[in-house]
Amino acid sequence: MSQKQWGLVELEWVCPNCGNRRPGPEKKCVSCGKPQPEDVEFVQPVDRAIITDSQTIADASRAPDIHCPYCGARNRADAESCRNCGGALAGGAQRQAGRVVGAYGDTPITPIQCPACGAQNPGDARRCTRCGAGLVPGPHLDEQARSVKPSAVAPGCSRTLLVIGIGIAIAVLIFLYLASRTTATVGIVRDVTWQRTVAVEALVPVRREAWLTEIPAGVPVGQCRSEVVRTQDEPAPNSVEVCGTPYTVDQGTGYGQVVQDCQYQIYADKCQYTVEEWKAVDSLVATGEGLVASEWPALTLTDKQRPGSRSEQYAVVFETDGATYEYVVKNPAEAALFIAGSRWTLEINTFGALTDVEPAR
């Protein structure tokens, strides 16, 4: 997947000591004087204008900042000693880069209410315009950082679906239980009939659809339409660029890189065409009585027809006290076992269906 870079934006962080919002490049809170701790993450502010100043871009593009191993203060990656305590920065923890801060785009700015005087302030304000108090983060900060989640099913609907699902499962289990319960009874073979079938195939026109380049040569091509044949990372002829929502990636310097993932959909012609294929158009059937089938159906075919698949089956009729049951087999050798007058044990399920047979002992 290719990635477009829109440019850099300034991020924000929230001071865990006083709750004030601070610009990403600031390494300590000017409201309370506390340095930014190592575990504080940058967030995306409402004002997300792409930076155009060359010096700011250079500062934002350097390696992630380093936290002092002695006092925890944040320093530039190229600094050798801590700007807060003067300690050597060798061995200091470098801030992690690459975290997705949130989607980049135009979103409504939610006003912020001052916790000190209650005045309403613009969503991108860091201090109250009436009393000057520091403003806590507005709801927009959390909304921007959250990924889109699938809509949840209402609790009532969930319970209803659960009850329906349990009911269906119970009904299936009851059916399977009843179907598996059988009663044994003795039946006598009263009759055996056989049926042999031969399918008749003919060449008939069949409409197919395929990519134009895959249609056999010499086949007439019908209506075509342009469709996506594949997706790839690089542009190509007959391609359309499809990009996702731009998002901001933390650079570990107080700035974020706005990027956008893109792919290219390659289009080609998918067309209809007609070919002649052998299809079953009819079937010929021969029937008779007895344990052995004596003949196949007589075939009367045209020059555009041919014999297709063949099949045979034997229907054995059992007689019991007050009822008859039919048992179908397709193997001639198995059918030969059902001699007229022979006795068999029949397994009858709860629904009155014959499920299995075996010679009576």
Per-position pLDDT tens, the chain of length 361: 788 899 999 999 999 888 888 899 999 888 888 888 888 999 888 767 899 999 999 989 999 999 999 988 999 999 999 988 999 999 899 999 999 998 886 555 677 788 888 888 776 677 787 887 777 654 444 443 333 333 344 556 678 888 888 989 898 888 887 778 889 999 999 999 999 999 999 999 999 999 999 999 999 999 999 999 999 999 888 889 999 999 999 999 999 999 999 999 999 999 999 999 999 999 999 999 998 888 999 998 988 899 999 999 999 999 998 899 999 999 999 999 999 999 999 999 989 999 999 999 8
Is residue 256 in a domain? no
- 240 and 296: one domain? no
76 inside domain: yes
Q: Which of 218, 265, 203, 213 is nearest to 240 (CA)?
A: 265
Instruction: Please write the tens of the pLDDT for every residue from 78-137.
Output: 999 998 899 999 989 999 999 999 888 655 567 778 888 888 877 667 778 788 777 765
251 within some domain: no
Are the C-beta atoms of residues 86 and 71 closer than 8 Å to each other?
no
Percent of the chain with pLDDT over 70: 91
**Statement to judge: residues 44 and 118 lie in one domain:** yes
Domain that holds residue 332: 182-202+281-359
The pLDDT score that the predictor gives to residue 124 is 63
Residue 168 and residue 109 share a domain: no
Q: How far apart are CA 360 and CA 281, in angstroms?
A: 44
| Segment (H or E) for 6 | strand 2-10
Q: What is the pTM of this model?
A: 0.55
Instruction: With respect to residue 49, please indicate whether it lies within any of the assigned structural domains.
Output: yes
45 and 112 Cβ atoms separated by less than 8 Å? no
Residue 289 lies in a domain: yes
The pLDDT, as a whole number, for residue 221 is 95
